[in-house]
Amino acid sequence: MARLRSCNFGLELYPDNLSHVAILDQLETNGYQYSGILHHSDTKKDNPDELVKAHWHIVLCFPRQRDLSVVSKELDLESRFIECIRSRVASERYLCHLDTPDKFQYDPAEIFGPLADQVRAHIEGGKTEDDKVRALLFLLDTMPTPCSYRRFIVAACEAGLYSTLRRMGSLFKPVIDEHNGYTNGT
């Protein structure tokens, strides 16, 4: 069986499950990088008048790839509640059902977690160039140190901010160096 590895994982947790509530607390208190939302108004496909059981969708992010089994063990969460994410941006857009207009549309203000501001910045669209630069700076602040230029470019792509980074050209290199603790070429 192939190992399931990713930098980003999707969790589905239920508020009526005390161990799931504890996992959400664990994410918050132990400094995990994530964004999430409570889906409280989803309806059943076969009966649009009936609500689906309330549940949290969590997008959990790591700086390096990890095995799904390791994440499952670390969080003490059955693997059936975890999935490897292929597209972080698509998963973050799903938090509000942005690309599924037939589903209830959640307000981006309901997104929570350490990455909530970053997620809102790139899913709400129509932001000014200043807002996009601030989102890039926030993204860098969430990256581990040292952060390679390559890893930051990948993260900017995942956040939908590459075009802004590209337009900045070499202006961002000293900012990354500063993040990494390098000064005056040292």
In this prediction the pTM is 0.70
Where does residue 184 fall: left (phi above 0), alpha (psi -120 to 50 degrees), or beta otherwise?
A: left
pLDDT recorded at residue 54 = 97
Residue 185 has pLDDT above 70, yes or no: no
User: How much is the pLDDT for 56?
Assistant: 98
The pair phi, psi for residue 13, each rounded to 5°, is -120, 155
| pLDDT tens sequence across 56-107 | 999 999 988 899 999 999 999 999 999 999 888 889 989 999 888 889 999 9
